[in-house]
Amino acid sequence: MFRRGTFVREQCTPVSDDQLQPNGIDLTVSDVFEQMDAGHVGRDGKEIGDRRSRTPQSLTENEAPTYYLEPGGYIVRYGETVTIPDGHVGFVYPRSTLMRNSCMLNTAVWDAGYEGKGEGLLQVHHDIELEQGARIAQLVLARANHEETYDGTYQGENVDTK
């Protein structure tokens, strides 16, 4: 069973009132990266290829920093630190506005015990402008049975960043 948005909100920081949804919270764009080099996924290990950070631009003094993205694949880092509590599993889904703008967000399961600022793969099929801080995904939590909690490579990822 999926949990209420108010429960999910308690597992994330920072979260504003407009991010609260009935069954979860919206995650926002913090940073955007382009993968520059090949990675490796093997049976006994993995390696993330080098990335280049995209720099958001403000065309006027009052404009929010905005990422101007051409078609391609990008890594998006969310702005919220998430903690998946014991007895739960997290799922991240794209907001429908992305799909309506020819974009898709691919994500993975977030196991109980995970803590960090997660990332997703943003597929851009037509030019798009994404403001830094824009809501692009929704995190939902479901009750789940498990033997252990997450203690893998990505534990604590990106928590020392913005």
Please name each of the domains of the chain with its CATH number. Answer: 5-35+65-143 (2.70.40.10)
In the 8-state DSSP scheme, what is residue 18? G
- Residue 91 clears pLDDT 70, i.e. is over it: yes
pLDDT tens for each residue of 60-88: 777 889 999 999 999 999 999 999 999 99
Rounded mean pLDDT of the chain?
94
Residue 162, pLDDT score: 54
Is residue 161's pLDDT more than 90?
A: no
Beta strand ranges found along 51-145 (DSSP E) = 51-53, 66-69, 72-78, 81-83, 88-94, 103-106, 115-116, 119-124, 128-131, 135-143
CA distance 142 to 2: 4
45, 24, 18: which is closest to 107 by C-alpha?
Answer: 24
Confidence (pLDDT) at 94 = 96
Q: Give the rounded percent of residues in the chain with a pLDDT score beyond 70.
A: 99
Output the six-digit token pair for 126: 């037509």
pTM for the model: 0.92
Q: Which of 33-42, 57-66, 83-92 has the lowest mean pLDDT?
A: 57-66
Beta carbons within 8 Å of 125's beta carbon, 6+ residues apart: 71, 102, 103, 104
Q: What is the pLDDT, as a whole number, of residue 77?
A: 98
